[in-house]
Chains A and B, each alone.
Chain A
């Protein structure tokens, strides 16, 4: 009953073939790029989620970068603080030896000399660069050496405090030098450099009576013990921060893995499915072409002689 016009028959066949070809082209693009979602319209809600997941991965990378920077700074600081502790231990040994009544003025001069060189070692360490343009004991931040010998003795040029990095986990990237080493201002902790200098001067002073010398050396020992306590306290804090940084790194790595998995499940192509679908489509295209060739070959005109 329904007539089909010849032009319509041809049009339908062409439509079928071009539709299949378009589908094949899309599939081929997916397979070669490995991405299921190439344009937002391929899957709008997945595209929006992909954008967020991609951003999540990037943010986690940023956080990981900050944590790894903090770890570097923390280990530098820990090394420096440990070195300081060694300096104090050696100073302690010297002072104990000097405090012995059997020590001669010549011995004490040698001790004083070593103390001064230990004090200089400590001072250099207090101003040690982090190798990146900053300082380990920069407090709240300075781009100059934090400790200077000014008119009033040892001064701390940075603000007391510490610098932080990290968004999820706050980690120190500097140590409060004022608290650790003290200054000469007299208001707070006496500068450890002054303590070592002063006791060295006392040892060098051949005119000082032994009682006064004992008093001086004992006071210096107490001060050095106090400094060592501060150093080990800070060292413990740094250790804690390192542990936090390690934990943060682990959780970031887990987060990154999750976010990356999510991203690939959102945007990635299921290769097995895509390839089998591509095979099915090419079979369909082949069939469409063959049937078209067969049908269009059928014509009554072929039989009119």
Chain B
């Protein structure tokens, strides 16, 4: 009978809606849940006398409130946010290393110079030598410790990237399984909505780790591609990502994609977003640049101070020995190489070393050296060759076409940066030679400045300048060629045997000046003054050590700041995308409360219809009594 039927259909519809509303309320905070609405339609009517009469209500579908475009936008924003967050968090660690200006590399360098100044003041006092060596050791330890800290951050980043790859792989596998379940399920299966939610939630979670493009197929399954265009999930097949050191460049992280038996290296520059992209950018760009700058500084100190030491004599009259030492660059032959070449690299001039690593590649018969910081390429004509203060040599074997050698120079040499000097007595505070005016001179001739400019200077044999008048002199001594009749002008520099001398005053006929061995190297401070003056010299590729430290700090700060700004921007994007998605798919509890009331009333009304039908039926029955 009509009324009872209509009442029953209304009761069913109201009950279904109450269920859907309850489910919405239950899942109000469930991530990825899409609000569900019950679609109903009036049942087709019946032609009765006088017209059509409705046949009640019918539940046609339980529909997910979902907008594919908004969901994708949210996923992309999540990729961007995760990438900038991962990079900013890693850079934050690097930023922390340089946070204390008062105990950093620059401060240690200044303290070291104060120690050298004390040697200048009191060259005869061995305590000043000990203090200066102690301070140099502290400086070396700070630089070496900073390198170690950067290496730890690099290791952590690699481990983190590997963990992210593992979690991506798990999700890809799950997604392939969900694809299988969707494929197997009936389109009107009651779980369909939840399966689709799970599918979309998986894509969203994967997006946080790596940016993806998804394509929803007609049967509801999803095909997933990386930003590079490579397939990650097709139907029920998932690929596997792996992270490791790049096969061509040992200073980089590399990414590999395995699908079945096929192995494919991915270009990490094209990752586009996701935590993995942030970690890669940090490792391959930010950290590498900082590490290279630090290595450049270590090489500059080693070159500058060891050179100056070599120009002098130590307390015991021995030629000055090295103050600092660095590790050798690391060369790695790519695993794909077919040749058997063993290549080595050596720092031969630390003052021109660039803050960069290199690769050496055989291309079309040419040996091409690429400086990785700016991709500048140099074609080498055979080995050994010296470029940027590095000498590249072929130790054995030969390079085959396409072979690549990765060279970690600036990023590796601070690894063992340390003090080479064994004892404070080895400070070469003295110059090996000194200009002394003749005791019987009658003029006002005086040595104005004197510097030993060559480590191999011949300073043991005295060289005597004998003046033949106020403006001319003869030279005698081994290695000079005994020139005569040279012109004297005050302030003009003369160089013999690896030293340079300027004189002032007016000499008289017969006056002399002799450059001979220093009487007491243990009390001379002239080379110590030259060592102190190195703090103002452009030791590091045109920059002073202080400038080099301050630009490293500025660079790390600028990178961290820009990563944080990116993070804020992506957060704004993500929040707005989340809001847009939630305005369609999210649950509003007040709305559900109103619906709850609405459907409760509908349910009560439907029940009333049924009870009315009952009354009507009872009335019919009483007619027969």
What's the Cα separation between A133 and B560 when bound, in Å? 51
B439 touches A44 (CB 8 A): no
What's the Cα separation between A55 and B107 when bound, in Å? 7
Chain A binder among B218-226, B410-418, B588-596, B610-618: B588-596
CB closest chain-B residue, reference A301: B593
| The residue from B106, B438, B524, B590 contacting A141, defined by CB atoms under 8 A apart | B524
| B46 contacts A by Cβ under 8 Å | no
Number of interface residues of A (CB under 8 A): 65
B107 touches A69 (CB 8 A): no
| Contact of A299 with B441 at beta-carbon distance under 8 Å, contacts A62-B113, A141-B525 already known | no
List of A residues within 8 angstroms of B529 by Cβ: 164-165, 167
B519 touches A157 (CB 8 A): yes
What's the Cα separation between A187 and B526 when bound, in Å? 27
Interface residues on B, range: 35 or more
List of A residues within 8 angstroms of B591 by Cβ: 3
| A246 contacts B by Cβ under 8 Å | no
A177-194: which residues lie under 8 A (CB-CB) from chain B? 178, 183, 185, 187-189
Chain B: minimal CB distance from A133 (Å): 5
Chain A: minimal CB distance from B461 (Å): 17
CB closest chain-A residue, reference B565: A41
Chain A: minimal CB distance from B73 (Å): 15
B589 touches A300 (CB 8 A): yes
List of A residues within 8 angstroms of B123 by Cβ: 141, 163
| Contact of A51 with B550 at beta-carbon distance under 8 Å, contacts A133-B122, A183-B439 already known | yes
List of B residues within 8 angstroms of A28 by Cβ: none
What's the Cα separation between A178 and B122 when bound, in Å? 21
List of A residues within 8 angstroms of B91 by Cβ: 41
B586 touches A5 (CB 8 A): yes
A17-60: which residues lie under 8 A (CB-CB) from chain B? 38-45, 47-52, 54-55, 58-59
In the complex, per-residue mask of A123-150: 1 if CB is within 8 Å of any chain B CB, else 0: 0000000001110001011111000000
What's the Cα separation between A45 and B120 when bound, in Å? 34
A165 touches B101 (CB 8 A): no
Chain A: minimal CB distance from B604 (Å): 14
B583 touches A47 (CB 8 A): no
List of A residues within 8 angstroms of B575 by Cβ: 12, 15
| B437 contacts A by Cβ under 8 Å | yes
Residues of A within 8 A of B (CB): 2-8, 11-12, 15, 38-45, 47-52, 54-55, 58-59, 61-63, 65-66, 69-70, 132-134, 138, 140-144, 157-161, 163-165, 167, 173, 178, 183, 185, 187-189, 267, 299-301, 304
What 4 A-B pairs are tightest by C-beta distance, nearest first?
A5-B586, A40-B557, A48-B554, A44-B557
Interface CB pairs A-B, < 8 A, 23: A3-B582, A6-B29, A6-B587, A6-B589, A8-B586, A11-B578, A15-B575, A39-B557, A41-B561, A47-B554, A48-B554, A51-B101, A132-B125, A138-B124, A140-B518, A140-B519, A140-B524, A159-B434, A160-B436, A165-B120, A165-B525, A187-B438, A301-B589
